[in-house]
Structures are given as structure tokens and as C-alpha cells.
Structure 1
Amino acid sequence: MSEKAAANLRAEDVAALRQAVAGPVLEPGTEGYEEECATYNLMSPLRPAIVVGATSEADVQEAVGSPPAMDCRSR
């Protein structure tokens, strides 16, 4: 996880995102985080400040448009 990304996260933004999406919103150290970050390219592991386990198109739209996403790279 980049320190810049973690520093830009505000608890109220993460809480609002949790309310806005149906899927899980995970932070490092929470159950399911590692599984959501899993990738086939083991040479370039992903460790974002938050992960949204999108369950619908609406979840993706909310996650990409949320304040935490404004300063973070999405994949």
C-alpha cells in the first residue's frame, strides 16, 4: 500500500463508501483483503489502501467515484 494513498483516506469517506456499496470494503489486515488483492502476476503484488469487492456495476461506479478513489489508482 502506498503511504500517500493511506494518508489520503479519511475514516468518514471509507464509512460512506461502505454504506454506498453492496460488496465489502476492505482495508489491509481485514478478513478477505488478501483474497481480493490476489493477482496472477506475483512479480507485481497489489496492496491498495482499500479494496472494494464489487458485486454490481453500481458498486464499481460508487467505488471509482468515491473520495478515496480520487487520489488512488484503480485497476
Structure 2
Amino acid sequence: MRGQARDLASGSSCTSGNSGSAERSATATRAAMVLSDLFQRADKRAGELARAYDAARIAGKACELAYSSLGSSSPKP
């Protein structure tokens, strides 16, 4: 989808003899560029969130392991 938005942004700048068509084409180009930028930002943010989730999961697993090792090494009454 991101590629399609990029292609639309680069391909919708065709010139026309009609000034109304040219204005619509410029508007469509800007909209496609904004959409393409939005997809790029969303993809980047998704990567950041995935890395943060992975780090939190690793920390949580380490915490669980440390906690369970404390429980198993303590003497039983």
C-alpha cells in the first residue's frame, strides 16, 4: 500500500491543458505525498513499538526467572 501511495504521488503530476485538471492533479499529488509520508511514519513507529515490546518482554521473562529461582532456593518450613 505504501508503494502504491508513492507511485501515485510520483505519477499523478501529469500536466494537462485544462487549468482545472492541472489544479486537481496538483491536489491529488499533494494528497498522495501526504499519504505516502503517513505510511512511512506509521511503519517507523510500528518498528519502534515492536522493539520496545521486545525489550519489555525480555525484561519480564528475566524477572520471572529471577523470581522463580528465589522461590525454589528458599528453605521449606
TM range (shorter): under 0.3
What TM-score comes out, normalization by structure 1 length? 0.27
Give the structure with higher Rg (CA): 2
Higher relative contact order (CA 8 A, sep 6+): 1
What TM-score comes out, normalization by structure 2 length? 0.26
The structure where helix makes up a greater share of residues is: 2
The structure where strand makes up a greater share of residues is: 1
